[in-house]
A and B are shown apart, each in its own frame.
Chain A
Amino acid sequence: MSVLDILPESSSQPNALPSAPRLSHLRQLEAESIHILREVASEFERPVMLYSIGKDSSVMLRLAQKAFFPAPIPFPLLHIDTGFKFREMIEFRDRMAREVGAELHVWRNEPAIAAGTNPIALDTKRCCGLLKTQALLDGLRHHNFDAAFGGARRDEEKSRAKERIYSFRDGAGQWDPKNQRPELWNLYNARIHPGESIRVFPLSNWTEMDVWQYIHEENIPVVDLYFAKERPMYLRGEALLPIEQSFVALPGEQPQMVKCRLRSLGCSPCTGAIRSDAATIPEIIAELLSFRSSERANRVIDHDQEGSMELKKREGYF
C-alpha cells in the first residue's frame, strides 16, 4: 500500500502542507495490528504464529512481513494439523512458508489420529477437543512457546467479541472470561509466570469484509477453495459436503457437480460449502455485501450447543 491511501481532506493545493491527511480505516487497522505484532516479538521470549492457512492467517502473515521489514519475521509458524484438512490447504501452507521464508512447525495429535479419531464416530465436540485443542496445547508446550498469535476476530462469534487482544491463559492453556486483565489504550500487559502463556489476536478489530478488502488491495494469495468452481459435492439437506479423504456417504447418496466455494476453511468433514458464482476476490466482496448469514454458519462445530465456542475457548481452544 502506498501514500495514495493518505487522502488529504481537501484535494486542492498539492504543494501546501496537507492540513489533515486522513487514513482509511484499513490503514488504521493495519497500523494497530503491526504495533501488536512488534510488541509481542519484543516482549516475549518464544512467540509463535498459529498459521491455519485460511484468509485471516494469510492477512496476519502479510502483516508480520510488514511489521519487521526489511528484517525477516522473527518467530516461527505453527500449524495444527488434524489430518482432516483439505489437500489444497496443505499444499498452499508449504508453498507460503517457503515464499515468506518462515520456519514452519506442524503439530498433530498422532496418538488420536492413529486411533482413528473422527467427527462421525465421536461427536464433533470430542473430535475438536482431541485433534485441535489437545494438539494445540501439546504443540505449544512441546516448543515452550510463551505467546501465540491467532487470527481470530471479534466479529466472528459472540464469545470472541469479549476477547482481549492479549488473552491470558493459565498453565493448562485455559481462558477465564470472567477474570480477564483490563486492557487499556495500546498498553498490553505481557507479564506471565512460568508455564502461563498469552494468546494474541492482532486482527481483533477486523471484520470479514475488512479482511477481504485488504486481500484485494494487497494482492494477498489465498487458497483456491475460497473461489467458486464446479466441484463434486454430496447434498445433505441444505448442506453441501465436500468429498475428501475421510468422507463417509450415507446409503444411496451420490455426489453431484455444484458450483460452490468455501466461505471459511476448517476440517473437511465439518466445513460445508456454499453455492456461489464468486470466482474472483471482487466477486467475493460483491457476494459478501449481499449475504444475510454469518461466516461461521457453515461450521458444524460452533452449533453443538449454546455457548459452545465459549466452552471450547475455556478449555484452551483459540
Chain B
Amino acid sequence: MTTLAENTFSIDDFMAGERRKDLLRFSTAGSVDDGKSTLIGRLLYDTQSVYEDQVRSIEGKGTTAPGQIDFALLTDGLRAEREQGITIDVAYRYFSTARRKFIIADTPGHEQYTRNMATGSSTADATIVLIDARKGVLPQSRRHAYIASLLGVRQMLVAVNKMDLVDYSKERFCSIQADFSALLDQIAADTGNPVQPYFLPVSALIGDNVVHRSAAMVWYTGPSLIDLLESLPAARHDHAAPLRFAVQRVLRPDASFRGFAGQIASGSVRPGDAITALPSGRIARVARISTFDGDLDLATAPLSVTLVLDREIDVSRGDLIVSAEAQATVTTDLEASLVWMDVHDLIPDRRYLLKHASHVVPATITSLRHRVLLDSDTPAQSLVHTPAATLSLNQIGVAALRLLRPIAVDSYRDHRLTGAFILIDPATNATVAAGMIRSAQPIPAALAAHLHGANSGPVSARERFLRWGHRGAILTLTGPSALADRVERALFQEGMVTLRLNAHGPATDSASDSLAAQAAASGLLVLLHAETDSDALSVSIGNHSITFSDEDAFTRRLHTLLADSGLLHQPRSPEYEI
C-alpha cells in the first residue's frame, strides 16, 4: 500500500532530480576475509537500498555473532559461496543516493579468482581496496592494487577495515597508510597509470565511517566512504578527447539511407566534422547523426548513434571512425600488458583470436618481454620483472603481438576502450587473456589499404600468410595412422590449412610429389604420410624433425616445429618494408 500521498509527489520534480544524477561504477578488492562483501552489504543496508524481505531472508544465518546481521549474505549469491563463506564470482550491485547512482562490481579476493577482479576493474571508475587493520598490507592487497592500476582505475579508496579490532588505533592506521602509499608509487612507476588514493579507517561490521561517521575515531576528520563516493569525479567521458567510434553494423534499410551504427568510445561528433575511416584511411565528413528520437546536433561519449557520411566510402563492421585531426595508429605489431585468464598456459606463436572494439583478428604472441612477479614469493613490496617463456592462469606480463590484419588502436593509457582487447582460444572459445596496449608500430596508410584487400594482381606469399597465418610447407609424416590423424587434428584446430596425402611406402610417385610441392607453394601445409608399424611418428620439415608418441602434447610441440622451421614468420612485402 502506498504511503506517499500522490498530491505531495511531483513526477516532474522527481524526474528532474533523477536526470541530474550521474553514474559512478566502482569495484571492490581485498584479501580473503578482509570483509568486502560485509562492507558492500553495510553500504546497501545503511543507504536503505535493500528490501525488508531480503534482510529477513538472511537474519539468523551466516557467521556473525547472534543478533548481528551477516551482511556478506546479501551479496554472496551462489550456493557454494554461502556454504564456504567466500566470494567466487563478481556480483553486481546497484544503489543510489540523492546525488548519484552507483554500480558496484563486488569481486573475489581469492588469488584463484584474480581474473574476476580484473573483470570488475575493467569498467570501474574507482575501486575500494580493503585492508584488514590487524594484518596490514598483504600480498593480495598488492596484487589487487596492481591490477586496478594496470586496468586504468584512476581513484582508489583504501579502506582500512576492522578498526574496532585494533582499538581504533590512529598509529595503526597511519602506518598502513604509509606502507600502502609507498606501494602505490612503485605500482604507478611500473604500470604508468598513477592512481589517486584516499585513505579512511572503517569498521564495516559496526558501520563506522561507512555511511555514518564514527564517534570512536574522532582523530579522523576526513569524509566517510559514502561522502567520498558521492564526490569523486565520475565517469570521465572526456569530450575534448578525439573522436573514436567503432562501426558495429551498417544500417541500410533502403537505397536512400546508409548509416554506420556504433557507440562513441571517446570524444564527440557534430555534423560537418571531418572523419577518417581506419584502417583504410578514407576520409569523409559527417552528414547526419541519426537516432530513433531524431537527428542530433552533437553526440558525445558514450552515446550509441548512427552516423551518415557525406559521400560513399567503403566502411564496414570493425572499422574505426576517428577524428581526421587526431587519428589512431594503424598497426599489425603491438606491445601490450596481458593478464592471463585461462587454465591452459600461453603458447607463443600459436594463433589466438584478438577482439578489439568491434572486430576480431587472428593474432600471435611473438615474444614475451617479461612477467611481473606480484606473489608472496616476491621480496616484500617489489614488482620484479622476470624473463618468462609463458604465462599461466592469473599471471601478468608484457608481450609483443603480431596481428594477421591491420587494425586501428590507441594506447590504453590514452583511450581505455580503443586500447583494450581480449584474446580468445580458437579451439576452446575461452577468453584467455585481457590485453592493454602499451605501444603500437604504425604502418603507412597505403600499406594498410594494401593489406586490407584493396589490391589486385597475383596473390603474394605475404597475402597468403595474412589469410592463413602460416607459410606453406611439406611435412613428412612417417609412422602409424592414428598419430598422423592427431597431428592433422591439432593443426586443424589451430585454424591451419592442411592437405593430407597418403604415400604407400617410403617412395612416393612423382605425381604426388609435384602436387605436394605446388600445394605448399600455394600456402598449404601438406601432410605427406607414409604408414609404418612403429609406435612413434616422426614429423619432419626440411632439416627439422620431431618424434611423437601417444602421450605427447601435440599442439605445443607442433608449434615449436613450425616456428623453428620459420613457417610462422611473415614474409616481407616486396613493395613495403616496415
Contacts and interface: CB of A to CB of B under 8 A. Distances in A.
Interface of B is mostly: mixed
Contacts of A22: 22
A189 B92 contact: no
Interface in B231-257: 235, 237, 239, 248-249, 251-253, 257
A250 to B, nearest CB: 25
A42 B248 contact: yes
Given A177-B78, A185-B122, A21 B300 contact: yes
Interface stretch (B3-11, B471-479, B499-507, B517-525): B3-11
21 contacts: A21-B300, A23-B302, A24-B22, A29-B23, A34-B263, A35-B304, A38-B262, A158-B77, A161-B75, A162-B77, A184-B434, A187-B420, A189-B429, A189-B431, A191-B353, A193-B429, A217-B15, A286-B6, A294-B53, A297-B51, A307-B82
Contact of B290 (A29, A65, A69, A213): A69
B261 A294 contact: no
Nearest to A30: B304
Nearest to B263: A35
A213 B341 contact: no
A161 B15 CA distance: 26
A196 to B, nearest CB: 8
Contacts of A18: 239, 298
A191 B432 CA distance: 12
Contacts of A306: 79, 82
A184 B290 contact: no
B228 interface: no
Contacts of A183: 119, 431
Interface residues of B, number: 86
Contacts of A237: none
Contacts of B300: 6, 21, 23
Interface string B7-32: 00101001100111111000000000
Nearest to A289: B4
Interface string B500-535: 000000000000000000000000000000000000
A162 B116 CA distance: 11
Interface stretch (A106-114, A121-129, A277-285): A277-285
Contacts of B290: 69-70
Given A293-B51, A297-B51, A310-B77, 18 more contacts: A23-B237, A25-B21, A28-B23, A35-B304, A38-B261, A38-B304, A65-B292, A68-B251, A154-B92, A161-B92, A189-B431, A191-B429, A207-B94, A213-B15, A216-B15, A286-B11, A290-B3, A293-B52
Q: Give the bracket for the number of chain A residues in contact with chain B.
A: 35 or more
B78 to A, nearest CB: 5
A241 to B, nearest CB: 18
Contacts of B568: none
Contacts of B145: none
Interface in A210-226: 213, 216-217
Given A28-B23, A70-B257, A185 B77 contact: no
